[in-house]
Amino acid sequence: MKKMNTFTLMMVALATLGLCFPSVGLCSTTTAKPQVSDVALMNGNVLVGQVVNSSGAAVTEAPVLLQQENRTIATLKTNKDGFFAAKNVPAGIYDLSATDGKGVYRLWAPKTAPPTAQKGALLVTGKNVARGQYGSGLRNMLANPWIVGGIVAAAVAIPVAIHNADNDSPASP
């Protein structure tokens, strides 16, 4: 009986402690590696792309840098529709940057790209860009207040049910 009371008290204390710390405390503080996007080059190893702002509007006359291993391969400029192009770009991994936007792209030679590869690079500029990522499943679940409430309710209800089910009395006939 004394063990059950101690267990119940520990579970209630643990649940209370869990409510004191916000779920933000579970978030990682390390910076994630940049996501690499696959892009298929057109015939002649031509890279095409577009620069848009966070609202989706084309950014005209924007300078675009094509870099590989911190070396500038080409400096491009967007047209009135925000498009840019570069000829004779070998397949490989490149950084593209324009104004406030930057991305890492794996460029594939024509007819070698995987089916999921994009037909062109898309750069989104602006400081209001939110790049969402699917994080840890456990972290996402613990950020939901209904899940946390269910865990706390179970932490309270299970010890109470175990305590109430404790049969010290003789069995009924």
* pLDDT confidence of residue 30: 54
- Asked if CATH classification 2.60.40.1120 holds for the domain at 36-125, the reply, yes or no, is yes
**Mean pLDDT on 106-130:** 85
CA distance 29 to 2: 42
Segment 28-48, tens digit of pLDDT: 555 556 688 999 999 999 999
User: Residue 103's CB: how many other CB atoms inside 10 A?
Assistant: 20
Q: Which residues, 6 or more positions from 85, have their beta carbon under 8 angstroms from its beta carbon?
A: 46, 47, 48, 49, 76
Q: Which residues, 6 or more positions from 35, have their beta carbon under 8 angstroms from its beta carbon?
A: 104, 131, 133
Segment 42-66, tens digit of pLDDT: 999 999 999 998 888 999 999 999 9
SS3 assignment, position 63: strand
User: Residue 46's CB: how many other CB atoms inside 10 A?
Assistant: 14
Alpha helices in 21-173 (DSSP H): 137-142, 145-164
pLDDT band for 167, please (50, 70, 90 cuts).
Answer: low
pTM assigned to the model: 0.56
The segment(s) of the chain belonging to CATH 2.60.40.1120 are 36-125
Q: How far is CA 117 from CA 37, 64, 101, 127, 141, in A?
A: 8, 21, 20, 26, 31
Tell me which amino acid residue 92 is: G
* pLDDT confidence of residue 104: 93
Provide the residue count of the chain: 173
Q: What's the angle, vertex CA 30, arms to CA 149 and CA 147, rounded to 5?
A: 10
* pLDDT confidence of residue 26: 54
